[in-house]
Structure formats: structure tokens, C-alpha cells
Amino acid sequence: MAVKKLKPVTPGTRFRVAPVFDEITASKPEKSLLAPLKKSGGRNNVGKMTVRYVGGGHKRRLRIVDFKRTKYGIPAVVKSIEYDPNRTARLALLYYVDGAKAYIIAPEGLEVGQTIVSGEIAPPEVGNAMHSINVPLGTIVHNIELKPGRGGALARSAGGYGQIVAREGKYVTIKLPSGEMRLILGTCMVTVGTVSNGDHMNVRLGKAGRNRWLGRRPRTRGVAMNPVDHPMGGGEGRASGGQPRSRTGLLSKGKKTRSPKKYSNKFIISKRSK
């Protein structure tokens, strides 16, 4: 995937860096794998706004994605690579030989017509899923489970990946791009390869309207509010004194928010780099 710089014929296209959809091979999704996606507009069950800066946006339908890859030993052919409005990565539509269909997160390099499989006997090739204990050391993986059978939780967004760096007993050590190294059980499933659409990080929307199409409303800075509305509000002129913090007083700019008693702390060998 690549990005393109547009000719600045309008103010909205002057700084816009747009994605290129060369890898997309189907314009319509598989109907049997769609579900309705209801929007809340940031309101709760009594209509009160509980999440700010959310609302509007284009209507979407949810694609039902298989994060578990539990059809062991059944080959599947990649029918198409598709766009998903609900995530940054691309989706791959699989046709299994037993007639089932499923969406998975498309890894980089997966092509239409390619055959992939999941299970213990699967070779470590792009798109194949297997238990992490069976993956060769140094292999790049994504869609990493944290608990066996629960489905992939790590490395699911565009360009995401982890690397298998060690095996010891029933645990496998995975290094993430943040620099964090953590242990997962060898029975957790992983998928070989890097998540597709790695150039998503280079996209620039170019105008506020594109943010509105995505369902994001304008965000008000805390220093522009009154003291009654925000800890950083008030003052004469463009005052921005005090420690940067949230509306509820939670400090930002490096304040640690992770619980020191969190159950998974013992699985983290080294924390992410600053």
C-alpha cells in the first residue's frame, strides 16, 4: 500500500495525503458476514452525553472478523482483499474447502488465490495461524492471543506486528514494536506476517470535514475553558499555567496510570521504551 499527494486545487486538498487502494479487489462486502452497527453519539441509555467529541459520521456496517482461527487443518482460499471502515487494516475474505466463509485481518503480502491454513501442522507462511509454541524464533506475527481461545488481542491495527524471540517451558516471549517484551502461553494462537496497510500512519486528512465523516466532532482545548469546566481553564489572556491534566484532574505528560497490582504485570519482562 502507498499514499498519494494530491494536486492542491482546493484548500482541503493542499495538505492532504490520501491512501491508495491498489490492493482492494472487491467493492462490495460479503453479505453473510455483515451485522448492523448502531451509533450512540456519545449518549448513554437515558440520552445523556457521557463521551464528548463523538457523533455524526457516515453510516457503517460491521464486518464479522474471525480473530480465533479455530478451523484447524481446513485449507482456505483468499477470495478478495477488502476495505473495512471500522479499522485501519484491510480484510481478507476466505472461502474454506468445507463451504464456510470468514473474514480475517489481511497480512502484508497476502494475495488473492493464495491458500492458507491454521493449526499445529501449518507451515510458518504469511497468513497461516498456529500456536505460538510452534512458531520458529525470529518470526514476525500479528493477531496475538493473550488468553487461549479468546481470540487475537495484540497487533491488529495497520502495520502492527510482534516478534517471537524466545521459548521457555510453556511460555513464549514476544517483542512488540513499542519495545515491550512479554510472555504469552505457548497455546495462544498467532498469525504469521505483519498487518496490512502499514502506510496508514502517513495519511493526512487535509480538512476538518473528513474528521466529521469519521464521526469525530471538534475537540475543545482545556485552556480555552472556564475554571468551572476544566482544571486548566481560566486566567487572563492565553494563560496555560499549571500541570497538564484531564477534566477529572488526572495528570498527563508521563503520569503512570497502570495499576501496580494488575494481574498481567508478572508476564511483562521489560516495559515499553519511553
Fold of 24-201: OB fold (Dihydrolipoamide Acetyltransferase, E2P) (2.40.50)
Domain spans in the chain, listed from the N-terminal domain onward: 24-201
CA distance 184 to 178: 17
pLDDT one-digit tens code per residue, 162-191: 999 999 999 999 999 899 999 999 999 999
pLDDT of residue 240: 79
Is 120 buried (19+), middle (13-18) or exposed (0-12) by CB count in 10 A?
A: exposed
The pLDDT of residue 123 is above 80: yes
* pLDDT band with cut points at 50, 70 and 90 for residue 194: very high
